Structure 1
Amino acid sequence: MLRHLIGLPKPSSWNHPVISKTSCSRLFSSSIPNPYLTLGTTLKNILPDGSEIRDILLFDPAKEEMLTVSDKTFPQELVESRQIGSTRGWGIFSNDHDRSLCISDLYNPLASKSNPTMVPLPSLAAVHSNQANVVWNVAMSSSPGDEDCVVAIKFLGRQLSLCRPHSDIRWTNVGEILVEKLENLENSNLTYSKRERRFYLPGPGGNSLYSWDLHLKKNKSLKLHELLFRDLPELDDSEWKLLGWCCRTEHLVESVSSGERFLVKWYMYAQRFFSPSHEGTNYTTRRFMVFREKTMTEGRYMYYTEDIGDVCIFLSMSEAFCVQASSCPGLKPNSIYFIGHGFGIYNLSDTTIHHFQAPEGAPTSFKDPYWLPPSCI
């Protein structure tokens, strides 16, 4: 997955050869509760105070068309910052000059157009770690308007930092406390469990889970949860061998409505390419595997499944989430909506991928490919 480099230009995140142009585009309607993908913005005006008026471009995966949220005010503080993460529809923004941070609902299509909410966070300058330059992903326990809200940032490597925006003046650096146990979690994706009020990180290979409660300053110990896997898919030996060569990321996803949890394993294979001017590696999604969690007296079991019912899962650079397809018209149940190494819908029942087409007027590459959860969750 592509990640943000603090102080360095961000790489393009969508330049996929299967994507072509369509002519679908419309203005945003507040009555539509679907998830959206952030595509970028177009500048319309620069105001004397340094703020800007921009149109926000969103992608509607249900209708496969672009939406425009027109005339959104970008305060100067956010004009001079860039987004480094997204969780629960809120963006985390970083100023590269002083490493100051803030949370904002800037890209939320239902938020105020003229006065976006901004909640300051402690500066990253106080995070004394050479691993705090690359943000992997972020998670948040609740809305930043809540007094007890906890924000967590997972950096590339074993650095994990947490803070309470309304009471902390600096970050609590979990990576410095638990350095030995976190050394193999470089590519783990952070998520928050509302059901258990804990932050979770999948362990190496997705065979375990690490978790922290919301009272880290009083209880700095982490919990290790060993996972027991059942009903693995019946695949040919050649397919298992190919999957063994693939890169893989793990994502723990929890349903807000039911509390049901899934562990998603995302397999990507790499292909080297060479040209007269440069060489590199292309990553392509091979498949996903989904495991449904069942907690028993013997431990936590993960059962492989190709049927998650009415649920659809959303994976991107933001914190993973899932929604009920029936509550968001047009979404396909039993599917994974993903952007990263490809952009499309993965059907769990037949393992096929439907690749999205880029609407007319959409940018050819994305800086911030974040799924925003719908208002209905």
Structure 2
Amino acid sequence: MSLLLSKLSPIMHRRSMSVRSFSSSMTGPYMSLSLKVNPSPGGVNIGKVLVFDPAKEELLELTDKAIPEEIIMTKATGASKGWGFFSDPQDSCILITDVMNPWSCKSNPKIFTLPPLTPLPSCQTDVIWSVAMSSCPDDDQDWVVGIKSLGDQLSFCRPRRDLRWTKITTPPDYFPTSNLMYSKKDRKFYLTGPGGHHLLSYDLHFKKSDKPEFHELQFRNFPESFKYDSEQSELFPSSCRTERLVESASGDERFLVKWYAKGCLDSRKISYETQRIMVFREEETTDGRFMCYTDDIGDMCIFVSKGEAFCIPASSFPGLKPNSIYFIGFGVGVYDLTTRTSSSFQAPTGALNYPWAPYWFPPSSS
């Protein structure tokens, strides 16, 4: 982390039209980039948080923030509902904080310490793959945290009631890199299966002995040229794919996002860049649950990264592009569903190259 901070320090001190201080009463969605800490003689760490505003394509500097000592040397591992997840390399505890939120208390940001994840037999928890929460910590005494580890382990915790983790084994070798999301509509956590053809769901009364509910998804209106994943692979032979299930803030709409990226060999390293993103809108019928291909999600824009995905109306935040996917992972940019093209953000040179906590955060207000 210290190396990344040193690379970003010149950017944070650069004063130009592309870097502005936070002053608005409300901020739109933003990308977390970095923080810089200035140790104080009084023992309080005061620093700056740097985030990126995709609507204005500007860097936003949050100054005079108290930075909790606990997260200074931690590793960012995820984000959900405006809160960042961090892992302490010394004791493996999970830390959840709102320090990256522009509206968190400057002098006393909130932080929750959860016990270390411990593995089930034959499982591992060293790599946190995805995280999700049922609500913000301030909103619900029954707040539930879910963490999907790389492999077969899923862990749940209800921090305000019981700090112990409930550890669940997912079907072996079937959901190793599945992304976790929480559905406000169903009050359930979902894991997407490979290709997005299946879902596992867990309700809020999780028990280790409980079996997840299994959902088989059926697809409709699939473009003829991409009717089967095998055909997709033939067209994009060097591609990899990941899936995200995302729900609107109201819970009225749900989408499955299939994200394809092309691998490129550069300086003996393989890098990936977004090649195509496909979106399917969920439709509930008497015949079952269907995912219907669409290239028109209207005013909506969807944000995907290693954090929990979310979607918001573009018209609420001038500058956002409707009918688009904002992505971090296989590159950093925006994908236009209408034209099926992606573009990178125009930010100061190097600003988006070395983020230490590269996650999308939803809008927030005072």
In structure 2, C-alpha distance between the alignment counterparts of 1:230 and 1:69, rounded to whole Å: 45
Secondary structure of 2:217's counterpart equals: strand
Secondary structure of 1:97's counterpart equals: coil
Which residue of 2 is the match for residue 17 of structure 1? none
Structure 2 residue 55 is matched with structure 1 residue 68: no
Give the drift of 1:49: 5.8
Match of 1:152 among 146, 152, 162: 146
Structure 2 residue 25 is matched with structure 1 residue 36: no
Structure 2 residue 337 is matched with structure 1 residue 340: no
**Which stretch of structure 1 is more off in the superposition, 196-205 or 26-35?**
26-35
Which residue of 2 is the match for residue 212 of structure 1? 202
Give the drift of 1:128: 6.3
Aligned residues: 350
Give the drift of 1:63: 0.6
Secondary structure of 1:235's counterpart equals: helix
8 Å contact from structure 1 (residues 49, 76) kept in 2: no
In structure 1, C-alpha distance between the alignment counterparts of 2:30 and 2:81, rounded to whole Å: 12
Which residue of 1 is the match for residue 302 of structure 2? 313
Sort the Cα spacing of 1:233 and 1:93 in 2 relative to 1 into closer, same or farther, 3 A.
same
Sort the Cα spacing of 1:61 and 1:24 in 2 relative to 1 into closer, same or farther, 3 A.
same
Match of 1:92 among 64, 85, 98: 85
8 Å contact from structure 1 (residues 208, 227) kept in 2: yes
Which residue of 2 is the match for residue 298 of structure 1? 287
Secondary structure of 2:235's counterpart equals: helix
Matches within 5 A, 1:85-164: 85-125=78-118, 130-145=123-138, 146-164=140-158
In structure 1, C-alpha distance between the alignment counterparts of 2:25 and 2:304, rounded to whole Å: 24
In structure 1, C-alpha distance between the alignment counterparts of 2:126 and 2:322, rounded to whole Å: 38
Give the drift of 1:127: 6.3
Which residue of 1 is the match for residue 249 of structure 2? 256
In structure 2, C-alpha distance between the alignment counterparts of 1:126 and 1:235, rounded to whole Å: 43
Give the drift of 1:244: 5.6
Matches within 5 A, 1:190-205: 190-205=180-195
Sort the Cα spacing of 1:303 and 1:124 in 2 relative to 1 into closer, same or farther, 3 A.
same
**TM-score scaled to structure 2, two decimals?**
0.89
- Structure 2 residue runs of 5 or longer lacking an equivalent are 9-15
Superposed CA deviations along residues 217-268 of structure 1, whole A, max 9, x for unmatched, are 2871201111110111243898661236521000000001242000000001
Look up the equivalent residue of 1:214 and give its one-letter code: L
Which residue of 2 is the match for residue 185 of structure 1? 175
**TM-score scaled to structure 1, two decimals?**
0.86
8 Å contact from structure 1 (residues 189, 201) kept in 2: yes
Cα RMSD, aligned residues only: 2.4
Look up the equivalent residue of 1:24 and give its one-letter code: S
8 Å contact from structure 1 (residues 126, 171) kept in 2: no
8 Å contact from structure 2 (residues 133, 143) kept in 1: yes
- Structure 1 residue runs of 5 or longer lacking an equivalent are 15-21
- The structure whose RCO (Cα within 8 Å, separation 6+) is larger is 1
Structure 2 residue 356 is matched with structure 1 residue 356: no
Identical columns (%) = 50
